[in-house]
Amino acid sequence: MQECDINTDGELDRQELVKFIRKLTKDTFIMVSQGLLITLAVAPTIAVLMKSCAVSASS
């Protein structure tokens, strides 16, 4: 929040608040996207690979 306070008065004016909200939502979007990617793609892929390895080992 301090990096968005351009005039360093300790308060955010309208422009500074908009800059802060945009940065916050961008960072949040990136974190949520990474979480979804792991949940929906990486984890199921690892589960399928582990299952196929277990089936191969038991044969």
Please give the chain's pLDDT, 59 residues, in tens: 667 666 677 777 788 888 889 988 999 999 999 999 989 998 889 999 999 888 777 76
The rounded distance, in Å, linking the Cα atoms of 44 and 22 is 32
Q: How many CB atoms lie within 10 A of CB 51?
A: 10
Q: Which residues are CB-contacts of 45 (< 8 A; sequence separation ≥ 6)?
A: none
pTM to 2 decimal places: 0.53
| H, E, C per residue of 19-45 | HHHHHHHHHHHHHHHHHHHHHHHHHHH
Instruction: Quote the tokens at residue 16.
Output: 């500074």
Domain ranges of the chain: 2-58
Looking at residue 22, its amino acid is R
